[in-house]
Amino acid sequence: MRRITLTQYLIEQQRASGSVTSELRLLIEVVARACKAISHAVGKGALADVLGGAGSDNVQGEAQKKLDLISNEILIEANEWGGHLAAMVSEEMERPHVMPDTGRKGGFLLLVDPLDGSSNIDVNVSIGTIFSVLRSPPEGGAPDEKAFMQPGSKQVAAGFAVYGPQTILVLTVGNGTVGFTLDREIGSFVMTQPNIRIPADTAEYAINSSNARNWDVPVKRYIDECLAGKAGVRGKDFNTRWIASMVADVYRIITRGGIFMYPRDAKYKDGRLRLMYEANPMAMIVEQAGGAATDGKTRILDIQPTALHQRTGVVLGSKNEVERVASYFS
Ligand code: AHG
Ligand code: MN
Ligand code: MN
């Protein structure tokens, strides 16, 4: 079978559509290279003394792990060198990081969750990197927070890497969702999933059920109906999966279907996951693969952001199940 690399895929997209410019293509390659470096650090683990806490908190008061900070540094360094960004937002930084003005300041904004699934780092369970690309508004000067306040529908590219048994890169440039596996011998991401499609139906759901007492009525109803199995209104048995790394849960869903839920609840009134660098990129990837993504009431990609680190409820995956949950909310 003839397999193409990430570089070849991007060049082919550029030739075919014109929507992938050379600058966007080079930016995605810089991010992919950073993911390779993060994958390498993750793979070393205790051998490189990268496990454990960093002894600091991020802007949302969450304890940072050493690998959260290492991954953030790798992404900054790669993109400062790359020169395709005007600024970058990260879960690990309170304010946008404006790129040094070396004369190579680029036309894009990058938003990243440098390492997703921090609670899984030290226990050798899959973790990953999530990224979203927006155009930098044309107004002159260094981009401020306002420049980032664009709904997810404006993303020009979105992707995530999973550092698991294999290192995988999932990507969309708005023309379907594709997947690459890192070939460690040749050092390239090689296309292994040329056309990812999420089955519309599923019998697998992902939710942290330790929050059950806090759920809203629609969520309770949906999960109760799943739990009732064959004898209940759904007429079939369901299975639970919760990895606690969104990258790994979403990767499973784009591979074999499923629904992922981190809804707003009585404890997480605004939701738990971040809109700009978790929900938005995952929503674009899932929609481009034929799935759906909502906060319960609004399509994730239509939400107008008002803050860099704002949270949202998330329900995404197999279309028919997501629509069912949305119908319970309305
Ligand atoms: P992060 O490690 O970047 O803070 O994100 C973790 C997120 C997400 O990956 C996962 O789905 C969720 O938090 C897990 O939450 P619980 O610990 O509540 O299960
Ligand atoms: Mn995360
Ligand atoms: Mn993170």
56-109 residue pLDDT tens: 999 889 999 999 999 999 999 999 999 999 999 999 999 999 998 766 678 999
Same domain (yes/no): 177, 264: no
Same domain (yes/no): 173, 43: yes
pLDDT at 106: 86
Asked if residue 113 has its Cβ within 6 Å of ligand 1, the reply is yes
Asked if residue 209 has its Cβ within 6 Å of ligand 1, the reply is no
Identify the domain containing residue 42 by its residue range.
6-193
Please report whether residue 229 resides in a domain: yes
Specify the range with the lowest mean pLDDT, choosing from 21-25, 100-104, 146-150.
100-104
Higher pLDDT, 139 or 249: 249
Residue among 279, 287, 277, 278 at smallest CA distance from 323: 287
Same domain (yes/no): 219, 239: yes
- Candidates 262, 274, 309, 312: which one to mutate for ligand 1, based on the most atoms within 8 Å of Cβ? 262
The answer, yes or no, to whether residue 168 has pLDDT greater than 70, is: yes
Same domain (yes/no): 58, 186: yes
Q: Are strands 85-90 and 97-98 parallel, antiparallel or unpaired?
A: antiparallel
Same domain (yes/no): 162, 244: no
**Residue owning the nearest CA to atom 3 of ligand 1:** 116
Please report whether residue 86 resides in a domain: yes
Please report whether residue 199 resides in a domain: no
The answer, yes or no, to whether residue 140 has pLDDT greater than 80, is: no
pLDDT band per the 50, 70, 90 thresholds, residue 17: confident
Distance separating alpha carbons of residues 164 and 152, to the nearest angstrom: 27
- Domain-terminating residue out of 193, 217, 239: 193
User: How confident is the model over 228-250, as pLDDT tens digits?
Assistant: 999 999 999 999 999 999 999 99
Distance from the alpha carbon of residue 246 to the mean position of ligand 2, in angstroms: 7
Same domain (yes/no): 78, 158: yes
Annotate 268-285 with b (16+ C-beta within 10 A) or e (fewer). eeebbbbbbbbbbbbbbb
Domain count, the chain: 2
- Domain-terminating residue out of 162, 193, 224: 193
The phi, psi pair for 100, rounded to 5°, reads -60, 140
Please report whether residue 68 resides in a domain: yes
pLDDT band per the 50, 70, 90 thresholds, residue 313: very high
**Residue owning the nearest CA to atom 16 of ligand 1:** 244
Asked if residue 8 has its Cβ within 6 Å of ligand 1, the reply is no
Same domain (yes/no): 61, 178: yes
In the block, residue with structure tokens 């009525």: 217
Distance from the alpha carbon of residue 18 to the mean position of ligand 2, in angstroms: 32
Asked if residue 106 has its Cβ within 6 Å of ligand 1, the reply is no
pLDDT at 19: 82
Please report whether residue 291 resides in a domain: yes
The count of other CB atoms within 10 Å of the CB of residue 119 is: 13
Mean pLDDT for all residues in the chain: 96
- Candidates 123, 162, 246: which one to mutate for ligand 1, based on the most atoms within 8 Å of Cβ? 246
Same domain (yes/no): 78, 16: yes
Same domain (yes/no): 44, 186: yes
Distance separating alpha carbons of residues 167 and 278, to the nearest angstrom: 19
pLDDT at 104: 66
pLDDT at 141: 75
Asked if residue 208 has its Cβ within 6 Å of ligand 1, the reply is yes
Distance separating alpha carbons of residues 126 and 116, to the nearest angstrom: 9
Same domain (yes/no): 247, 182: no
pLDDT at 103: 64
The answer, yes or no, to whether residue 44 has pLDDT greater than 80, is: yes
Name the pTM for this structure. Answer: 0.98
Asked if residue 116 has its Cβ within 6 Å of ligand 1, the reply is yes
Tell me which ligand sits closest to the C-alpha of residue 71. Answer: 3
Same domain (yes/no): 175, 81: yes
**Residue 101, domain CATH:** 3.30.540.10
**Residue 293, domain CATH:** 3.40.190.80
Tell me which ligand sits closest to the C-alpha of residue 314. Answer: 1
**Residue owning the nearest CA to atom 18 of ligand 1:** 208
CA of 24: how far to CAs of 107, 109, 133, in Å?
Answer: 9, 11, 9
pLDDT band per the 50, 70, 90 thresholds, residue 282: very high
Average pLDDT estimate for 246-274: 98
- Domain-terminating residue out of 143, 158, 193: 193
Same domain (yes/no): 171, 272: no
Average pLDDT estimate for 112-133: 98
